[in-house]
Structure 1
Amino acid sequence: MTRKLQLPLQTMNLVVGFMVWVIISSLLPFIQEDVAIAPERVALVTAVPVILGSILRIPLGYFANVYGARIVFIISFILLMFPVFYISEASTFADLLIGGLFLGVGGAIFSVGVTSLPKYYPKEKHGLVNGVYGAGNIGTAVTTFAAPVIATSIGWQATIKVYLVLLLAFAVLNIFIGDRNEKKVKQPIMQQIQAVYKNEKLWIFSLFYFITFGSFVAFTVYLPNSLVTNFGLEEVDAGLRTAGFIVVATLMRPAGGAVADKFSPLKMLVGVFVVYTAAAILLAFSPSLALYTVGAIAIAVSAGVGNGVIFKLVPTYFHSQAGIANGIISMMGGLGGFFPPLILTAVFAITGHYAIGFMLLSQVSLASLILIMWLMYQDSLNNQISIFHSSGQGMMVTDTKGKIVEVNPSFEKLTGYSREEALGNTPALLKSGKQPKNFYDRMWESIRRTGHWQGEIWNRRKSGELYVEWLTINPVTDETGNVIKYVATFSDITEEKKEGEA
């Protein structure tokens, strides 16, 4: 029973963590009435919680493997109570920076669930499970919408203190129903980092998550103040619209993960970054509020789907080091939420509009699209290589001059010749002498005329033993139709031949 409760429990833990994470950005219009914040520092105070929320994702993902999610969630919620209380009493810009930095723990707990929950489910459900858990980022929508409404009635200081009760309640809840018997993985953290950091896919997935989750966080902290400043909306209206953005992105996350369980995740990411590129270009032209809404919703959809898809890919490519890989990739996503608001603010201060910042997003999205195409090509190539090396049939590749350029392990097993002995030689290495010369002339004439040849042929192993094989030869052509290689596949049919003759 306890195991079945982990997905809803950890998802709600994430909801609470993300609710706390965005307290400052959600209540900033109210806080500014009592705390003096220079316009050029607004982006900094909203972005600071993202710093620790990003960096801590690596150790928290690791600790979730070592000690289990229950312990990490309990400690995290207790620790969060200190900065929450401190911010509720803040009277200076420095107070907000200090308290906001430690609010990052609320965002860092994301890596706990994506490390823990896949242990409870089969591989084919990891996309859906991580998508459902990731939907816990709706906590940002809850705070973005509810906090301004509550603050209107009781003030922003009292509103923040309400979160103390929530944190204490969930710390207690995890004490009683968190899984005490979760499977632990105690490989040293540096050993895990060394096992993954040279893998280029780790950094490519990090870039993708930097964009998808980073833009989600960036729009969450950027939209409330932007809608008030640039379109003259009321604080509550701006909070409601931002909450709408968050809800759309959140609902699309489990949908993206579920679909990625059924279809190619990389092909789905192609669609994600096509939408990103187009939406960012639209936003770059400073559209009306209606078109701005269309662009923002397109970003929300693609961010949500992309977030779900990426954490389907992580356990697929990093099974043994999922905790540390999740931590690194989710850290990069968090940092993706730190830098864009600062860049947008700097661009606006220099140019008076956000066009260059959004065009930068479109170009990074386009670059990501190219990287996905490269990954798909690499996967296709790796699949072909895997088939080549794991095939039970002997396989031999020659150039157009007849020199052997590659063989597979089955070739070595069937012929007795090692790869090193075969490379650079010709197939005459295996010649038995039992076929007349015109046999080979007819073979090559058939290949030139029909594009292939297959049939029985006698060959000789390295040991000198004669054997009969069923041989198929196919030419490989380039895009202009010119033959560049020949591929021969064969199997030993000596025993079948004997049985047939008997």
Structure 2
Amino acid sequence: MIKKMQLSLQTLNLVLGFMVWVIISSLMPFIKEDISIPQGSLAIVTAIPVVLGSILRIPLGYYANIVGARVVFMISFVLLLFPVYYISVASSLTDLIIGGLFLGIGGAVFSVGVTSLPKYYPREKHGLVNGVYGMGNIGTAITTFAAPVIATAIGWQAAVRLYLVLLLVFIVLNFLFGDRKETRIKTPIIEQIKGVYKNEKLWFFSLFYFITFGSFVAFTVYLPNFLVANFQLDKVDAGLRTAGFIALATFLRPVGGWLADRFQALFLLMCTFAVYTLAAIVLAFSPSIGLYTVGCLTIAVSAGIGNGVIFKLVPFYFNKQAGIANGIVSMMGGLGGFFPPLMLAAIHGLTGQYSIGFMLLSQVALASLIIVVWMYYQDKLTLVSDVFKSTAQGILVTDPQGYIKTVNPAFTRLTGYEEEEVRGRRPSLLKSGRQPETFYQQMWKEITEKGLWQGAIWNRRKNGEEYVQWLNISAVKDATGEDIRYVGTFSELTEHPNNSSS
């Protein structure tokens, strides 16, 4: 019963963590009325919670494997009580920066669930499960929409203190219903890091999540003030529109995971970054509120689906190092939410507009698209290479002139020859001498006419031992019908007549 509750409980934990994470950015229009904040510092104040929320994802993901999600969630919520209270009594910019930094714990809990929950489900459901858990992002929408409404009624300080009650409730819920018997994985963190940091896919996934989740976080903290300042919307309307962006991205996250469970995940990422690139270009032209809304919502679709797809891929490629890999990738996503608001603010300060910033985002998305296309075809090549290396049949490939280009490990096992010894030589070095020349002439006549020959043949190993093999030779042709290489596959025949022939 407890195990069945973990998806629901941990998703609600993430909802609360993200609700707390964006308190400052959601209430900034109200906070500015009581605390003097220079225009140039606004982006820093709203982005600062992302810093610790990103960096802490690595240790929280790791310790979720060591002590279990129940303990990590409880400790995180206890620690969040202090910065939440501190912000509710803040009276200066310094107070907001200090309190905001430690609010980052709320965003860091993301790596706990993506590490813990796959333990409860088969691999073919990991995309959907992590997507459902990722819907906890809706916590940012709840705060973005509800906090301004509550602050209008009771003041922003009192609105912040309400989060103390929620944190206490969830500390109790995790104590009572968290899984005390969760599977622990206690591989030392240094060993886990060594197992993943040289893998280029980890850094590619980090870049992809930097774009998709980073844009989700960036737009969450950037939109409320931007819509008020540039389109003269009232604070509640700006909060409602931002909540719509968050809700769309959040609800599409499990859709992305579900699609990745059923289709080629890398192909889905190609579509994601293609759409993102076009949407960012639209925003770069500083459109009207209508077209700006379309561009933002399109990015929400790309971010939501992309987030779901990526966290199908991470545990797929890093099953044994899921904790540390999830932590690193999700950390990069969090940092992706830190830099764009600062970059946009800096560019706006220099040029008076945001166009260049959005164009830069479009080019980063385009670069990601190119990398995904490369990964897609590399995976296909890797698949072919793995089959070539692991098949039990010996394989040799020659050029059109009959010189050996490559062989597989099974060839070495069956013949005794290493690849370096046969590359550039003709297969005739394997001849036993038992078949007459007319045998080989007939063989090549069939290959020339039909493109295929198969039969039993006597050959000789490197140590001089003769044996019978069943040999298949196929001609590989180009688009014009010319032979460009020949592929021979063979296996040893243990039972055979003494005068085997074709």
Assess same fold via TM > 0.5.
yes
**Structure 1 residue 325 corresponds to structure 2 residue 325:** yes
* Equivalent residue letter for 2:68: G
- Give the 3-state SS of the residue equivalent to 1:198 in structure 2: coil
Deviations 1:268-314 (A, max 9, x none): 10110011011011111111111111111110011001000101111
What corresponds to 1:95 in structure 2? Answer: 95
What corresponds to 2:316 in structure 1? Answer: 316
Unaligned runs of 5+ in 1: none
What corresponds to 2:415 in structure 1? Answer: 415
What corresponds to 1:231 in structure 2? Answer: 231
* 1:87-486 map, 5 Å: 87-476=87-476, 483-486=483-486
Identity %: 68
- Give the 3-state SS of the residue equivalent to 1:321 in structure 2: helix
Q: CA deviation at 1:477?
A: 5.2
- Give the 3-state SS of the residue equivalent to 1:32 in structure 2: helix
- Determine the C-alpha separation between the residues in 1 that align with 2:244 and 2:445: 69
- Determine the C-alpha separation between the residues in 2 that align with 1:491 and 1:343: 62
Q: CA deviation at 1:23?
A: 0.2
Moved more, 347-356 or 213-222: 347-356
* Equivalent residue letter for 1:46: T
Deviations 1:427-449 (A, max 9, x none): 11210222222333343344344
- TM-aligned CA distance change 1:82 to 1:466, over 3 Å: same
- Determine the C-alpha separation between the residues in 2 that align with 1:401 and 1:333: 53
* Equivalent residue letter for 1:123: R
Equivalent residues of 2:22, 2:221 under 8 A apart: yes
Equivalent residues of 2:22, 2:143 under 8 A apart: yes
Equivalent residues of 2:272, 2:306 under 8 A apart: yes
Moved more, 116-125 or 419-428: 419-428
- Give the 3-state SS of the residue equivalent to 2:34 in structure 1: coil
* Equivalent residue letter for 2:428: A
- Determine the C-alpha separation between the residues in 1 that align with 2:395 and 2:181: 49
- TM-aligned CA distance change 1:299 to 1:498, over 3 Å: farther
- Determine the C-alpha separation between the residues in 1 that align with 2:492 and 2:347: 69
Aligned length: 501
- Determine the C-alpha separation between the residues in 1 that align with 2:191 and 2:121: 26
Q: CA deviation at 1:494?
A: 5.0
- Determine the C-alpha separation between the residues in 2 that align with 1:41 and 1:382: 49
Moved more, 166-175 or 439-448: 439-448
* Equivalent residue letter for 1:417: Y
* Equivalent residue letter for 1:64: A
- Determine the C-alpha separation between the residues in 2 that align with 1:268 and 1:72: 33
- Determine the C-alpha separation between the residues in 2 that align with 1:191 and 1:284: 44
* Equivalent residue letter for 1:388: F
Q: CA deviation at 1:478?
A: 6.0
Equivalent residues of 2:117, 2:129 under 8 A apart: yes
* Equivalent residue letter for 1:117: L
- Determine the C-alpha separation between the residues in 2 that align with 1:483 and 1:367: 38
Moved more, 282-291 or 152-161: 282-291
Q: CA deviation at 1:498?
A: 7.6
What corresponds to 1:62 in structure 2? Answer: 62
- Determine the C-alpha separation between the residues in 1 that align with 2:82 and 2:343: 30
- Give the 3-state SS of the residue equivalent to 2:353 in structure 1: coil
- Determine the C-alpha separation between the residues in 2 that align with 1:430 and 1:102: 71
Q: CA deviation at 1:71?
A: 0.8
Question: What TM-score do you get using the length of structure 2 for normalisation?
Answer: 0.96
Question: What TM-score do you get using the length of structure 1 for normalisation?
Answer: 0.96
- Determine the C-alpha separation between the residues in 1 that align with 2:130 and 2:496: 52
- Determine the C-alpha separation between the residues in 1 that align with 2:498 and 2:95: 89
- Determine the C-alpha separation between the residues in 1 that align with 2:178 and 2:497: 65
- TM-aligned CA distance change 1:466 to 1:45, over 3 Å: same
Equivalent residues of 2:457, 2:500 under 8 A apart: no
What corresponds to 1:73 in structure 2? Answer: 73
- Give the 3-state SS of the residue equivalent to 2:33 in structure 1: coil
* Equivalent residue letter for 2:389: H
Deviations 1:373-429 (A, max 9, x none): 111111111111111111121111223443333222222233233444434432112
Equivalent residues of 2:453, 2:472 under 8 A apart: yes
Unaligned runs of 5+ in 2: none
- Give the 3-state SS of the residue equivalent to 1:279 in structure 2: helix
**Structure 1 residue 26 corresponds to structure 2 residue 26:** yes
* Equivalent residue letter for 1:175: F
